């Protein structure tokens, strides 16, 4: 019995480290590849690191600030329809701040904290970028430019931003809000949660039924005619062509009619119609002449 208990205790002790999430800290493992690009063999990456060079317009570093940002599925739970998120959706810093970002990826997939729109003479492709496969921590530092501007921060792994991993960093007062930031701004493509699957299917069935009725009724009243639907499609085709021609001609006509009175516009339209008819008749007669002359050549 004692043996059994001690074996149980041993199993419990060994399982504790498995239960607790271990974050791999990449900060001491990174190799500096120059130009602010740091990488390690475990897949941690920092790009656009800048700890010393002041951006143009900054006389000095206004303040040194450190922020910790978490990324993971669990932070998206409060945002309906989202799958991934940062734990913070908006960051505010003063112009010319030296900002160190401690990025903690809580998921078992790869995430990024990628900032865009920075001056390209200082940050390659205008980007500052932290990336790591989780669970892990990684840190990087940059110096922000002067001026009020809102910068996009997102995870660029396919569909992670669309699924909610999007935030904004405002330097100074910023210059507005970016769209589709969970909890901050409206979604560009709003999800429609109206109606359950059964009601949607009932609507589809009703629409299909309604579409089927007109096709059946003419068949009953006039058994010979399968044409009505055909005629409909011809009319709509002609309508489409007419609309296309109208759209093409509209800018030309608008220019021509500029500054004319109503009677002048009508006169011009008739003039254009006459010219068009004349052109058509001329083309037709030319065609007839051409065919006739060919025939004449062949006949003798
Ligand atoms: Cu991600």
84-135 confidence digits (pLDDT tens):
999 999 999 999 999 999 999 999 999 999 999 999 999 999 999 999 998 9
Give the pLDDT confidence of 222-238 residue by residue, as tens digits: 444 444 444 555 567 77
Cα 275 to ligand 1 centroid, rounded to whole Å: 64
Distance from the alpha carbon of residue 110 to the mean position of ligand 1, in angstroms: 6
Highest mean pLDDT among 13-27, 158-172, 282-296: 158-172
Question: What is the distance between the alpha carbons of residues 55 and 57, in angstroms, rounded to a whole number?
Answer: 6
Q: Taking the model in full, what pTM does it have?
A: 0.59
Q: How far is the CA of 238 from the centre of ligand 1 (A)?
A: 50
20-171 folds as Immunoglobulin-like (2.60.40)
Q: What is the structure's pLDDT at 221?
A: 46
Distance 102 CA to ligand 1 centre (A): 16
Structure tokens at 134: 């989780």
Residue-wise pLDDT tens digits, 188-244: 877 676 767 777 788 888 988 888 765 554 444 444 444 444 455 556 777 778 788
What are the residue boundaries of the structural domains of the chain, listed by start?
Answer: 20-171
Q: In the prediction, which pLDDT does 123 show? A: 95
Q: Which residues surround ligand 1, an ion (CB under 5 A)?
A: 111, 155, 157, 160
Mean pLDDT of 6-32: 68
Task: Report the chain's C-alpha Rg in angstroms.
Answer: 35
β-pair type (45-47, 149-154): unpaired
**Which token pair is 112?**
């990024």
- As given in the structure block, the two tokens for residue 253 are 């006509």
Q: Say if residues 16 and 10 touch (Cβ distance below 8 Å).
A: no
Which one has a higher pLDDT value, 15 or 213?
A: 213
| Rounded distance from Cα 165 to ligand 1 centre (Å) | 7
- Residue range 255-277, pLDDT digits in tens: 767 777 777 778 877 888 888 89
């Amino acid at each position: 019995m004692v043996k059994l208990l001690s074996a149980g205790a041993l199993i419990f002790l060994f399982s504790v480290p498995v239960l607790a999430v271990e974050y791999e800290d990449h900060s001491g493992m990174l190799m500096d590849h120059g130009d602010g690009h740091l990488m390690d063999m475990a897949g941690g990456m920092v790009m656009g690191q800048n700890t010393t060079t002041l951006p143009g317009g900054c006389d000095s570093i206004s303040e040194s600030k450190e922020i910790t940002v978490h990324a993971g599925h669990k932070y998206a739970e409060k945002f309906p329809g989202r799958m991934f998120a940062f734990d913070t959706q908006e960051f505010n810093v003063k112009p010319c701040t030296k900002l160190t970002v401690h990025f903690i990826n809580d998921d078992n997939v790869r995430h990024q904290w990628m900032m865009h729109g920075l001056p390209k003479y200082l940050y390659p492709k205008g980007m500052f970028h932290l990336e790591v496969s989780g669970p892990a921590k990684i840190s990087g530092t940059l110096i922000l430019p002067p001026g009020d501007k809102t910068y996009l921060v997102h995870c660029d792994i396919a569909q992670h931003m669309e699924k909610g991993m999007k935030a904004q960093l405002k330097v100074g007062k910023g210059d507005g809000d970016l769209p589709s930031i969970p909890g901050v701004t409206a979604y560009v493509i709003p999800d429609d949660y109206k109606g359950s699957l059964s009601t949607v299917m009932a609507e589809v069935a009703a629409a299909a039924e309604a579409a089927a009725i007109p096709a059946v009724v003419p068949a009953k009243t006039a058994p010979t005619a399968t044409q009505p639907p055909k005629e409909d499609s011809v009319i709509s085709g002609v309508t489409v062509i007419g609309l296309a021609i109208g759209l093409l001609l509209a800018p030309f006509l608008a220019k021509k009619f500029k500054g004319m009175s109503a009677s002048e516009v009508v006169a011009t339209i008739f003039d254009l119609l006459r010219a068009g008819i004349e052109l058509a008749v001329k083309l037709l007669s030319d065609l007839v002449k051409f065919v006739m002359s060919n025939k004449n050549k062949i006949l003798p």
